Structure 1
Amino acid sequence: MTQRGQQRGQRGQRGSAVSFTGAVRTYGAVRAVDGVDLDIAPGETVALLGRNGAGKSTTIGLLLGLYEPDAGAVELFGAPPERSVRAGRVGAMLQDARPVPRVTVGELVTFVASRYPAPMPVARALELAGIAGLAGRRVDRLSGGQVQRVRFALALAGDPALLVLDEPTAALDVEARHAFWDSMRAYARRGHTVLFSTHYLEEADAHADRIVILDRGRIVADGTGEDLRRAAGGNLVGIDLAGRDPDSLALLPGVRSVDVQDGRALLRTDDSDATVIALAELGAIRGLEVTPASLDDSFLALTAAGPETLTESHDLEPR
């Protein structure tokens, strides 16, 4: 059985860690979250992607009980979010948290850990966050990257069953980003559930069991990185147009879309072999290049899709 199949089995046996059922959150005429259905099994690591304004922050706010849904329901471990948060089962690292003045890193993490019923040892939280050497430093005198790692330590302090990370590697340099993901994976391996949002698509591809893409407040895709690449068209075929009508290329076998730039056509195709054979029959393989679609390509294709395509791309793999 695959890892995702095992996780579905866990969900059936032990319930969901995170459950959204038709969740809606509006701001005036804007539906920031528009009927979201999402189920995350205990022990899964899930990445939440979307353009600015896609609804990621509101979704996280609903998950943490910071907002109430206008319709539908949100549950954590079978209970309302606020109950799970109060019980110490959730740790969160949010973007808008501000440094507390005149306290040291060690004092702050110790205080937060003391609010939880079964906290992680402070030394362990500092070590996982890569800031053991900063315990005696004042939080308000740290660099942006160091403050980000303090936020991670605070999220870990309660040893929560669910860890929610909003843009966790923002302000971190490359070395610190690698160290962060090493720590996050070590935490996840202990059976914890992790949900993180990020603008770094390669991070989602490398570190998440599933990737959920939000657009216009709705889930437009949910699957592995490979699932997403297939859903958006598995390969890209590029040719020099050489005066050829690009509209005719859209009718070729396997082709989903055609993009024209600087005299070249880029064909997104489900069947690159069939597409190339058809191009050869037309004598149109000048400057031929075939490449796999990247996750960036897939993300752009999925979030550029109109509402009519949402039901087609949402469920990339049966659950």
Structure 2
Amino acid sequence: MHTSSDVVARLCGVVKRYGGVTALDGVDLVLQRGELLAVLGPNGAGKTTSIGLLLGLMRPDAGRVELFGMDPQQIDARRRIGVMLQSAMLPPTLRVGELLRLVSSYYPHPRALDESAALAGIADLLQRPYGKLSGGQQRRVQFALALCGRPELLFLDEPTVGMDIDARRKLWNAMRTLVAEGCSVVLTTHYLEEAEALAQRVVVMAKGRVLSEGSVDALRAHVPLSRIRCVTDLDVAAVSAWPQVASAEREGARLRISTNEPENVLRRLLDADLALSELEVQRAGLAEAFTELTREETAEQEAA
């Protein structure tokens, strides 16, 4: 049970249609204070529409939308958020430092410019014109603009697209810092490893509905399989026929096995090949859970 002071954003039975297309079909969503919530789903799932409603950029056809207990279009609610959407049209001739000072001036208690730049990893870009930056650098600047107002709630829509691995990891660390300060974050991403690394809670959507929500571990539980990889000369067809093996395939010298009884399969592997080496065992990840959940939804709709 969440108290009203715990909840910073909420969708209650929300329906949104575009002509004959239902983008959201009775969606319930709650975001708590100090929580990083990842919203996942294939294209057309309703993720962007959900964020647009919470930002007050559109109105629902049915249901209720709240931001800090208020209408999302109220200025008192909007002053408490930061936003990084998938695309941003910013003046290309302004220097990065000028952009930060401009956006900071819209907020009553903004971060110091140097603090925002350090958090976003753009201290070396402050004198550069925005239009002269690479795509990944521009995304980091957009992140700095989203956090410079010291928001209580941050919306990040595919924030690390176009970033290299090092920049992505630095942004992850910045998100963790913000959450540790008490900021709530709504993250949409196609990088499932990103959600797995960051989210306290995950919502999986498809075709305008919430399929599942919970912790990463709770979603992993939808897929009871574990993965075993090892270097072995065992015949892949023979291993595939073992009763505890869901699938087996060869990757060069390695054998990759999926099973819901890893202990039994491990014993049999070690008995069958004394020379077996480079053994790895890994439980199913968020990617497998996401695939299974969306596959089940597709199968149910095709059967209906």
After TM superposition, the score normalised by the length of structure 1 is: 0.78
SS in 1 for 2:174: helix
Match of 2:3 among 6, 12, 28: 12
Instruction: Give the Cα separation in 1 of the matches to 2:109 and 2:89.
Output: 25
Between 1:291-300 and 1:129-138, the stretch displaced more is: 291-300
AA of the residue aligned to 2:166: E
Find the counterpart in structure 2 of residue 176 from structure 1. Answer: 167
Find the counterpart in structure 2 of residue 132 from structure 1. Answer: 123
Mark the runs of 5 or more structure 2 residues left unpaired by the alignment: 230-234, 273-279
| Contact 2:228–2:258 (8 Å) recurs in 1 | yes
Match of 1:58 among 49, 54, 57: 49
AA of the residue aligned to 2:152: A
Q: Are 1:39 and 2:24 an aligned pair?
A: no
| Total equivalences in the alignment | 283
Report deviation, 1:61. 0.8
SS in 2 for 1:38: strand
Mark the runs of 5 or more structure 1 residues left unpaired by the alignment: 1-7, 311-319
Match of 2:198 among 193, 203, 207: 207
Instruction: Give the Cα separation in 2 of the matches to 1:84 and 1:138.
Output: 30
Match of 2:219 among 205, 214, 228: 228
Instruction: Give the Cα separation in 1 of the matches to 2:98 and 2:282.
Output: 52
Match of 1:191 among 176, 182, 193: 182
Q: Are 1:304 and 2:298 an aligned pair?
A: no
Match of 1:118 among 109, 132, 137: 109
Report deviation, 1:296. 1.2
Instruction: Give the Cα separation in 2 of the matches to 1:111 and 1:303.
Output: 43
SS in 1 for 2:168: helix
Find the counterpart in structure 1 of residue 65 from structure 2. Answer: 74
Instruction: Give the Cα separation in 2 of the matches to 1:31 and 1:294.
Output: 31
| Contact 1:89–1:161 (8 Å) recurs in 2 | yes
Instruction: Give the Cα separation in 2 of the matches to 1:76 and 1:121.
Output: 26
| Contact 2:10–2:65 (8 Å) recurs in 1 | yes
SS in 1 for 2:156: strand
Query: Which runs of at least 4 in structure 1 moved beyond 3 Å after TM superposition?
Result: 84-87, 232-242, 258-262, 264-269, 307-310
- Residues 1:225 and 1:127: Cα distance change in structure 2 (over 3 Å): same
Instruction: Give the Cα separation in 2 of the matches to 1:260 and 1:47.
Output: 32
AA of the residue aligned to 1:158: G
After TM superposition, the score normalised by the length of structure 2 is: 0.81
Report deviation, 1:261. 8.1
Aligned-residue CA RMSD (Å): 3.2
SS in 2 for 1:82: coil
Q: Are 1:161 and 2:130 an aligned pair?
A: no
Alignment of 1:80-119 (within 5 A): 80-83=71-74, 87-119=78-110
- Residues 1:180 and 1:291: Cα distance change in structure 2 (over 3 Å): closer
AA of the residue aligned to 2:30: D
AA of the residue aligned to 1:118: H
AA of the residue aligned to 1:202: E
Could you give the per-residue CA deviations for residues 150-197 of structure 1, whole angstroms, max 9, x where no partner exists? 100110121110000001111111111111111111111111101111
AA of the residue aligned to 1:183: A
